């Protein structure tokens, strides 16, 4: 084989790693589309051993991962389950484990939009239907009541976020830039970029904040 033929063979590209925090029960659709595909490898971490994560642990202590060791962090509806004083710890951990080109994508209830339901007298009326069932403003404020009633205390909510607040907290955690979106089901999306990160093609679901 000639030199040109040998050099034409591309070296295998190592997969990018996404840390899926608060992963819940495994299902491919739980991973956001920007982290799916052949180029990504998922590592699942959750407090609840019953969901069989790769690692049982908390988002406030990701010390099992070295600094700058993952390409993405995906956090879907779990930072609201932290005590308020723990949120900066978790966001700082997200930043610490990311590579300089990394991205953290976080979604959480948008308490500003939820508050409009309360003002309109719709506290316990169904706002939308999720895979877990009907969701009311009460569920978005305090946690999914059916799950909590069924014995899953992990589902309780302990803090809340507006787009201004989550953006400010992420910048205070050291991220270089934060892209904010409001979703269609009273959710808030924040895409936090490390200094050398490119903006993902679809940083979040929903409309511009």
In which band, very low, low, confident or very high, does the pLDDT at 7 lie, cut at 50, 70 and 90?
very low
Own/partner pairs for 123-131, CB < 8 Å, 24+ apart?
Answer: 127/185, 127/186, 128/185, 128/186, 130/185
Q: What is the pLDDT of residue 38?
A: 80
**What would the two tokens of residue 125 be?**
């009326």
Check: CB of residue 206 under 8 Å from CB of residue 181.
Answer: yes
Please give the Cα distance from 22 to 79 (Å, whole number). Answer: 9
Overall pTM > 0.75: yes
Give the mean pLDDT of 6-21.
72
Q: For residue 188, how many other CB atoms are within 10 A of its CB?
A: 28
User: Which domains does the chain carry?
Assistant: 15-108+160-199 (3.40.50.150)
Q: Is the pLDDT of residue 8 over 70?
A: no
Which residues does 122 contact at the CB level (< 8 Å), separation at least 6? 136, 137
């Amino acid at each position: 084989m000639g030199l040109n033929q040998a050099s034409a063979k591309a070296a295998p590209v190592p997969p990018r790693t996404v840390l899926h925090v608060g992963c819940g029960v495994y299902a491919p659709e739980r991973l956001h589309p920007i982290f799916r595909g052949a180029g990504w490898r998922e590592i699942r971490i959750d407090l609840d051993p019953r969901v069989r994560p790769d690692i049982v642990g908390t988002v406030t202590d990701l010390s099992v991962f070295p600094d700058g060791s993952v390409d993405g962090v995906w956090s879907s509806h779990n930072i609201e389950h932290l005590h308020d004083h723990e949120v900066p710890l978790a966001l700082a951990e997200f930043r610490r484990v990311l590579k300089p080109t990394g991205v953290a994508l976080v979604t959480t209830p948008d308490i500003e939009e939820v508050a409009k339901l309360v003002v309109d007298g719709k506290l316990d009326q169904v706002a939308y239907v999720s895979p877990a069932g009907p969701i009311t403003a009460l569920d978005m404020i305090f946690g999914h009541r059916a799950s909590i009633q069924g014995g899953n205390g992990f589902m309780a909510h302990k803090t809340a976020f507006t787009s201004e607040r989550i953006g400010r907290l992420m910048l205070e955690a050291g991220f270089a830039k934060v892209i904010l979106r409001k979703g269609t089901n009273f959710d808030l999306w924040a895409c936090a970029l490390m200094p050398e990160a490119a903006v993902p093609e679809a940083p979040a679901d929903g409309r511009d904040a």
